[in-house]
């Protein structure tokens, strides 16, 4: 009887799912694969221990059988047997934990003229998107603004590459480039001032485009300043996330050089 009681106690807190056709699993899979479903639910799924770092609270944690539940406050914990977990996981070497977390996208109206933001234009590679969000968070950027042609930062690869950055920066959607009017918009552009001569305004929106096409015409029109990173003639361009990293680092130097840091 004790064994039975023990089992039922555990069971109250931890559901265990052994079937791939379980409704919870179907929903989790859809959150992973379907952008529109994520938006509709206001939730997304994120995998990987580093990506969960800093998550204040998960709606639900899904843990592979035998894996320690991470110490994140959660609305529920569900244990999946190995074959169910592997059928859901989008990672090759999964660490065995998937969190479902609230998906928040702000409108452009929330952008303050006293903050530092990063505007992404045509960033279509999810790894780059995630790395850029991680870097923006590391350099105290308030929000990442999604311009035209960007991959969903809440897609599995992007969310994982963000390394927890999604809990530190706001995600903002730019529906119309005209909304940028009145803001200080600095564009990374080959026609810009060399970075070592460029003076960053205290607040800005830094616009970074795709490495193949640069900034799109609609965004170029809104720029109030342009900056470029001089590179060797041996290479045509930098990877977009590297360019964003160097620019955000350079802009952060003003803050980092201040006393007490």
Q: Site for a copy of itself (CB under 8 A): which residue of 2, 234, 259, 260? A: 234
Q: Site for a copy of itself (CB under 8 A): which residue of 56, 230, 259, 260? A: 230
Toward a copy of itself, which CB reaches closer, 93 or 176? 93
Toward a copy of itself, which CB reaches closer, 123 or 174? 123
Q: Site for a copy of itself (CB under 8 A): which residue of 65, 140, 170, 179? A: 140
- Please name the residues in contact with 181: beta carbons below 8 A apart, sequence gap of 6 or more: 222
**Cβ pair 206, 188 in contact under 8 A:** yes
Contact status: 124 vs a copy of itself (CB under 8 A): no
Toward a copy of itself, which CB reaches closer, 130 or 225? 130
The encoded tokens of residue 119 equal 């505007």
Residue from 111, 107, 77 nearest 206 by CA: 111
Per CB under 8 A, which region of 18-26, 34-42, 101-109, 227-235 contacts a copy of itself? 227-235
Toward a copy of itself, which CB reaches closer, 53 or 65? 53
Element (H, E) at 82: helix 82-88
**In a 3-state reduction of DSSP, which class is residue 237?**
coil
Contact status: 48 vs a copy of itself (CB under 8 A): no
Q: How far is the CB of 133 from a copy of itself (least distance, A)?
A: 10
Contact status: 238 vs a copy of itself (CB under 8 A): yes
Residue from 160, 250, 145 nearest 208 by CA: 145
Query: Based on the number of CB atoms within 10 Å of its own CB, is 3 exposed (0-12), middle (13-18) or buried (19 or more)?
Result: exposed
* CA angle centred on 24, ends 18 and 30, rounded to 5°: 115
User: How many whole angstroms separate alpha carbon 20 and alpha carbon 103?
Assistant: 25
- Give the count of residues interacting with a copy of itself (CB under 8 A): 38
Q: Site for a copy of itself (CB under 8 A): which residue of 78, 89, 131, 210? A: 131
User: How many whole angstroms separate alpha carbon 136 and alpha carbon 128?
Assistant: 12
Binding residues for a copy of itself, rule: CB under 8 A, are 50, 53-54, 127, 131, 134-135, 137-140, 161, 163-165, 168, 194, 196, 212, 229-232, 234-239, 241-242, 245-246, 249, 253, 256-257, 261
């Amino acid at each position: 009887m004790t064994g039975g009681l023990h089992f039922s106690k555990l069971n109250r807190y931890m559901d265990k799912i052994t079937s791939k056709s379980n409704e919870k699993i179907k929903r989790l899979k859809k959150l992973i694969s379907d952008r529109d479903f994520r938006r509709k639910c206001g939730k997304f799924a994120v995998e990987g221990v580093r990506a969960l770092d800093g998550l204040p609270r998960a709606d639900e944690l899904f843990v592979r059988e035998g894996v320690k539940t991470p110490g994140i406050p959660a609305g529920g914990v569900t244990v999946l047997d190995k074959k169910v977990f592997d059928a859901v996981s989008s990672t090759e070497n999964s660490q065995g934990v998937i969190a479902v977390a609230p998906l928040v996208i702000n409108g452009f109206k929330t952008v303050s003229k006293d903050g530092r933001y990063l505007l992404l234009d045509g960033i279509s590679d999810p790894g780059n998107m995630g790395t850029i969000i991680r870097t923006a968070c590391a350099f105290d950027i308030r929000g990442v603004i999604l311009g035209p042609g960007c991959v969903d930062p809440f897609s599995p690869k992007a969310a994982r590459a963000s390394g927890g950055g999604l809990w530190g920066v706001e995600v903002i959607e730019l529906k119309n480039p005209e909304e940028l009017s009145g803001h200080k918009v600095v564009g990374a552009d080959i026609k810009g001032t060399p970075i070592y001569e460029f003076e960053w305004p205290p607040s800005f929106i830094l616009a970074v485009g795709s490495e193949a096409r640069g900034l799109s015409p609609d965004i170029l029109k809104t720029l109030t300043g342009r900056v470029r990173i001089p590179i060797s003639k041996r290479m045509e361009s930098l990877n977009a996330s590297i360019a964003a990293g160097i620019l955000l680092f350079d802009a952060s130097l003003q803050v980092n050089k201040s006393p007490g840091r």
